[in-house]
């Protein structure tokens, strides 16, 4: 035990400097080198021709499925759009027919009632050049 204490007392700083140097070299040079080496090996495994061919067939199958689903969705949307357009056409036709029925024919006339805004109406006070009726001003009598 005494020998180990004397060894540490004599070479302690050398050991600490050696540990710090190894740690610095490991962090600065060795770890990045190992990381690059590992990435290179991973890339080589990923680019293996047998693996790539299997992935390409899977990728082609997935793309075909996606294309089929997109085509089905497109066809469905087109069908819905046509149905809505047809429904709007039918609705406007029904509204037009209802409007014609409301305007209908007046009794004693053979043609449908036509409303014209240009005909003279004596009940309209603003017709003509004079403004609507206003009573004359009353003046205060001063005398």
Q: What's the DSSP call for residue 118?
A: S
Q: Is the pLDDT of residue 67 over 90?
A: yes
Same domain, 40 and 52: no
State the average pLDDT for the chain. Answer: 82
Q: Which long-range contacts (CB under 8 A, 24 or more apart) does 100-106 make?
A: none
Same domain, 40 and 57: no
Same domain, 26 and 55: no
What percent of the chain clears pLDDT 70, i.e. is strictly above it?
77
Q: Is the pLDDT of residue 22 over 80?
A: yes
Question: Tell me, what's the pLDDT at 44?
Answer: 87
The tally of domains found in the chain comes to 2
Q: Is the pLDDT of residue 114 over 90?
A: no
Q: Confidence band (pLDDT; 50, 70, 90) for 121?
A: low
User: Which of residues 77 and 46 earns the better pLDDT score?
Assistant: 77
How many CA atoms lie within 13 Å of 6's alpha carbon, on the beta-carbon side? 3
Domain span at 93: 48-103
Same domain, 79 and 55: yes
Examine residue 35 and state whether it is found in any structural domain, yes or no: yes
Q: Is the pLDDT of residue 105 over 90?
A: no
**pLDDT tens digit string along 23-40?**
999 888 889 899 999 999
Longest CA span, the chain: 143
* Cβ atoms 105, 111 nearer than 8 A: yes
27 burial level (CB within 10 Å; 0-12, 13-18, 19+): exposed
pTM of the predicted model as reported, rounded to 2 decimal places: 0.37
Question: Tell me, what's the pLDDT at 135?
Answer: 75
Same domain, 75 and 90: yes
Question: Tell me, what's the pLDDT at 18?
Answer: 94
């Amino acid at each position: 035990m005494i020998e180990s204490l004397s060894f540490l007392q004599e070479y302690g700083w050398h050991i600490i400097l050696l540990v710090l140097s190894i740690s610095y070299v490991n962090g600065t040079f060795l770890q990045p080198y190992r990381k690059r080496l590992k990435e290179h090996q991973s890339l080589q495994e990923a680019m293996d021709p047998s693996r790539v061919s299997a992935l390409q067939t899977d990728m082609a199958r997935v793309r075909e499925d996606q294309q089929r689903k997109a085509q089905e969705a497109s066809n469905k949307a087109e069908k819905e759009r046509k149905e809505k357009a047809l429904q709007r056409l039918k609705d406007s036709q029904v509204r037009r027919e209802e409007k014609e029925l409301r305007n209908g024919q007046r009794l004693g006339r053979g043609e449908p009632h036509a409303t014209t805004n240009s005909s003279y109406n004596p009940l309209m006070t603003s017709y003509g050049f004079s403004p609507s009726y206003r009573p004359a001003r009353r003046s205060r009598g001063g005398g």
